[in-house]
Amino acid sequence: MSSGPLVYLSGGVGGARLAHGLYYSLPPELLTCIVNTGDDLVHWGLQVCPDLDTMLYTLADVADVERGWGLASETFEALAGVKRYGGESWFALGDRDLATHLMRSEWLRAGATLTQITERLRTALGVRAPILPMSDAPRETMIETPSGTLSFQRWLVEARAVPRVDRVWFRGDAAASPTVLEALERARLVVIGPSNPYVSIEPILATPGVRERIARLPVLAVSPIVHGKAVKGPLAGMLQSLSGWPAEARSVARYYGSLLRGYVVEHGDHLGIDSALPVLATHTVMKTRSESRDLAQAVLSFAKELGLWS
Ligand code: FO1
């Protein structure tokens, strides 16, 4: 049995909620969150990193929990102005949220890396655990549909995730950042959050240098499917169109395959999972902070029971 730092892999809102529970259950030096940047986009000339920002805002307790993205108590006056000028209004940046994108874009132009910038943002927001973009260079998630190929946000937000997904691929050959690789070298346990495996976790795993390091570590995952439905987002349709699998927790375990040493599902969702894979069935839907903390503690206890971590 080994003990030590935990690396947490995450996409957007579901992943950030469990991160919140882990953040309040572990000393900050034991938790590092590695976050998907495949959803990033340049919008209104600004660099926007939705999953990084969801993680930053959630851990800083300033997120809009209801909406699932952006900041609480947000206003959209700049968006109204952009609309008046005939600009692009399919992707909404809030007035307060703009400060993050303005500063990130300015610092990028001045030569800072996305890792350094995220470090500045999280320090300013009072977040004590590191939040790492998977890569410092662009690596964009592309969605192939019957009517053409779209960037991820164009597909999810502008096209409302309606076009069928025939293939997902990543544009750009960016490697993992050195900070990500160091965190994985130090890690003693990897937890994969309840995020979409195809478009939130796979971009991280497929970043050169990551999968082989993770394969050497004990890995637990939490199912993003509860009772046959994705807790949020387009995963159910993707399981069907990309793999021909049902929207069930077992399909996500099948996706990760031999990477997993344990799997956490909602009560009643354990059916059909390979009997060789240890499963914890518990309450996994996180609507409140205490549910996030309870799930985090259940995941950590499960890792200890399995002898993977102490
Ligand atoms: N999601 C939407 O459905 N509509 C939006 O206009 C939108 C704007 C937006 C701005 C900043 C941000 O950080 C996230 C935003 N999101 C929006 C959410 C985003 O598309 C998704 O949460 C993630 O990319 C999925 O992980």
Instruction: From first to last of the 310 residues of the chain, give the pLDDT tens digit.
Output: 446 899 999 998 999 999 999 999 999 999 999 999 999 999 999 999 999 999 999 999 999 999 999 999 999 999 999 999 999 999 999 999 999 999 999 999 999 999 999 999 999 999 999 999 999 999 999 999 999 999 999 999 999 999 999 999 999 988 999 999 999 999 999 999 999 999 999 999 999 999 999 999 999 999 999 999 998 889 999 999 999 999 999 999 999 999 999 999 999 999 999 999 999 999 999 999 999 999 999 999 999 999 999 8
Nearest CA to ligand 1 atom 16: 69
Contact 252, 272 (CB under 8 A): no
Task: Extract the tokens encoding 33.
Answer: 């969150």
**Separation between Cα atoms, residue 132 and residue 35, nearest integer Å:** 6
- Residue whose entry in the numeric block shows the structure tokens 């929990």: 65
Do β-strands 31-35 and 6-10 pair in parallel, antiparallel, or remain unpaired? parallel
Residue 70, ligand 1, Cβ within 6 A: yes
Residue 91, ligand 1, Cβ within 6 A: yes
Task: Extract the tokens encoding 114.
Answer: 């996305």
The CA angle 274-186-253, to the nearest 5 degrees, is 15
Burial class (CB in 10 A: 0-12, 13-18, 19+), 147: exposed
DSSP string covering 117-130, please?
Answer: HHHHHHHHTT--S-
Query: Coil, strand or helix: which one is 141?
Result: strand
Q: What is the pLDDT of residue 3?
A: 63
Residue 198, ligand 1, Cβ within 6 A: no
Residue 57, ligand 1, Cβ within 6 A: no
Centre of ligand 1 to C-alpha 112, Å, is: 24
- Residue whose entry in the numeric block shows the structure tokens 């050195």: 178
Contact 107, 100 (CB under 8 A): no
